[in-house]
Amino acid sequence: MEAVVVDAGSKLLKAGIALPDQAPGLVMPSKMKTEVEENEVADGAAAVVEEVVHPVVRGFVKDWDAMEDLLTYVLYRNIGWEMGDEGQILFTEPLFTPKALREQLVQLMFEKFNVSGFYDSEQAVLSLYAVGRISGCTVDIGHGKIDIAPVCEGAVQHVASKRFEIGGIDLTNLFAQELKKSNPSVNIDISDVERLKEQYACCTEDQSAFEAIASTCQPETHTLPDGQVITIEKERYIVGEALFQPSILGLEDYGIVHQLITSVSNVASEYQKQLLENTMLCGGTVSMTGFEDRFQREANLSASAIRPTLVKAPEYMPEDLARHSAWLGGAILAKVVFPQNQHVTKGDYDETGPSIVHKKCF
């Protein structure tokens, strides 16, 4: 049986059989609905309401019961595992995952799911594998976090890496605030805002173009599913600009290109050129219209002697590689670690316990 690869993010869970040149077979929201009993109603019966639970928050698992339910649905209902005949599994892992969370995951897999083999690897490493690199730097803009990670010969340089507790959800909330200012009488559901952001958000060429946009931007009307009509103007540009000017989000910090160069400058100088010349953008947000061009333009204007150069996806990989890069890299790695017995086996786990994950998966 082929290994399964799981990339569980804050917004989406991607899973499927390890097929390196294909997108994951399953992409679904990382959330579960649970029934919660509220206070008794008039006739003495308890009212039951549905509550949406998000097992993963800003990249890390926060609700293990919900995570177990979600994985049960994914592995048995969708992947096709059968009770008593579970296979091998590889998980992608966000930057700076606490040791305790790694141990909880491997414990869950062997004790609840009875897997025959387990492996996990960091998303930055896997994303580079997806474009045929073992060294480079990833800029991963996720739903709840931004990770910047230099990788030297398959090893993340944690001392130089950076994590920011902002991501796509914060950009969505910013977009919602801006739309509310220009459409004060319209109530827009956050799920509609998310779709509007994906449809309309874009980046200007540079900061000067952004500052001039207020007087040149042409308004565009959009009809919401409930029939309400809104006007979208300069709001579409503020989402992308916030990544280059974090002060828009109320953060006293430098923009994303400066953060990348600062991160790489903390790696030994002999590696810096190779890292910056193999810069990879990951996550759904990077597909925003104009983002890649703006990133490269700012990189070319940077004060660094070595300027970041973006890696292009090989032609044989799926078009939306940036969205699925960690999963695709995991599919590549699964084809190596399991056949070569580099993974955590049931025997390893029974002998050592959950801490085996730190010795076998690094």
Instruction: Identify the CATH homologous superfamily for domain 134-310.
Output: ATPase, nucleotide binding domain (3.30.420.40)
- Taking alpha carbons only, the member of 166, 122, 155 closest to residue 7 is 122
pLDDT the model gives residue 49: 76
Domain ranges of the chain: 4-31+59-128+319-361, 134-310
Residue 243 sits at φ, ψ, to 5 deg, of: -75, -25
d(CA 59, CA 258): 23
pTM for the model stands at 0.93
Alpha-carbon distance of 89 to 80, in angstroms, equals 13
Q: Are 271 and 306 in contact (CB under 8 A)?
A: no
> Which tokens is 277 given?
């010349």
Contact 1, 41 (CB under 8 A): no
323 within 8 A of 283, measured Cβ to Cβ: yes
Are both 4-31+59-128+319-361 and 134-310 of the same fold? yes
Inter-residue long-range contacts of 171-175, CB under 8 Å, 24+ positions, other chains counted: 171/197, 171/201, 171/239, 171/242, 171/243, 171/285, 172/197, 174/238, 174/239, 174/242, 174/248, 174/249, 175/201, 175/235, 175/238, 175/239
- C-alpha neighbours within 13 Å on the C-beta side of residue 150: 25
Alpha-carbon span 157 to 293, nearest angstrom: 27
Identify the CATH homologous superfamily for domain 4-31+59-128+319-361. ATPase, nucleotide binding domain (3.30.420.40)
Residues of the chain with pLDDT below 70 are: 36-48
